[in-house]
């Protein structure tokens, strides 16, 4: 089983993402009921900043605020299936 869509805050534009409480959202094939969410500041995920398991098709980021104007990498998978990955940039501090 695999994910078919992955976004942040339901947007296609992955620039200027909120620093506090962005919502990671995905769509998956029928039957996917358990998901793993990982966030990293490295494209190879050699350093995981955030790791959660959930049974929902979204997760509200609830860890330390993200850093401003920084690139992050997000990946999600269903069960032990293949990862769906995107990269995004955070907005400037206000």
Decide if pLDDT at 94 tops 80: no
Give the pLDDT confidence of 18-76 residue by residue, as tens digits: 889 899 999 998 889 999 999 999 999 999 999 999 999 999 999 999 999 999 999 99
Model confidence band, residue 81 (pLDDT cutoffs 50, 70, 90): very high
Separation CA 93–CA 67 (nearest Å): 8
Model confidence band, residue 10 (pLDDT cutoffs 50, 70, 90): confident
Architecture of domain 3-89: Sandwich (2.60)
Spans of all domains in the chain: 3-89
| pLDDT score at 44 | 97
| pLDDT score at 25 | 94
Instruction: Give the strand order in the sheet containing 35-40.
Output: 48-54, 35-40, 71-78, 84-89
Torsion on CA atoms 62, 24, 55, 65, rounded to nearest 10 = -10
């Amino acid at each position: 089983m695999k994910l078919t869509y992955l976004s942040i805050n339901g947007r296609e534009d992955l620039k200027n993402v909120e620093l506090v409480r962005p919502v990671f959202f995905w769509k998956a094939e029928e039957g996917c009921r358990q998901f793993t969410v990982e966030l990293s500041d490295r494209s190879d995920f050699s350093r995981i900043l955030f790791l959660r398991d959930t049974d929902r098709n979204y997760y509200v980021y609830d860890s330390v605020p993200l850093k401003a104007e920084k690139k992050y990498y997000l990946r999600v998978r269903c069960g032990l299936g293949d990862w769906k990955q995107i990269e995004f940039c955070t907005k400037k501090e206000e």
